[in-house]
Amino acid sequence: MTKAVWSGVITAAAVLLCSTQAMAQQTDTKTVTITATVNAKAKLTVGPAAVSFADADPDVTPVLPASAAVTVDVKSRTTTNGAVTLTVQSGGNLVSGSDSIAIANLTWTAAGTGFAAGTMATTAVSLGGWTGGGTQSGTQSYLLANSWDYKTGTYTATITYTLTAP
Tell me the C-alpha distance between 63 and 68, whole Å: 15
Identity of the amino acid at 73 = D
Interaction of residue 3 with other proteins, rule CB under 8 A: no
Q: Which of 1, 38, 49, 60 binds other proteins (CB under 8 A)?
A: 38
Q: Parallel, antiparallel, or unpaired: how do β-strands 118-119 and 125-131 relate?
A: unpaired
Strand, helix or coil for residue 86:
strand
Q: Name the segment binding other proteins (CB under 8 A); options: 22-30, 56-64, 103-111, 149-157.
A: 22-30
- Residue 74-113 contact track with other proteins, rule CB under 8 A, x = bound: -xxxxxx-x-------------------------------
Q: Name the segment binding other proteins (CB under 8 A); options: 19-27, 86-94, 95-103, 137-145.
A: 19-27
Tell the burial category of 74 from Cβ atoms under 10 Å away from its Cβ (0-12, 13-18, 19+). buried
Interaction of residue 5 with other proteins, rule CB under 8 A: no
Tell me the C-alpha distance between 9 and 134, whole Å: 73
List residues binding other proteins (CB under 8 A): 11, 14-15, 18, 21-41, 43, 75-80, 82, 132-135
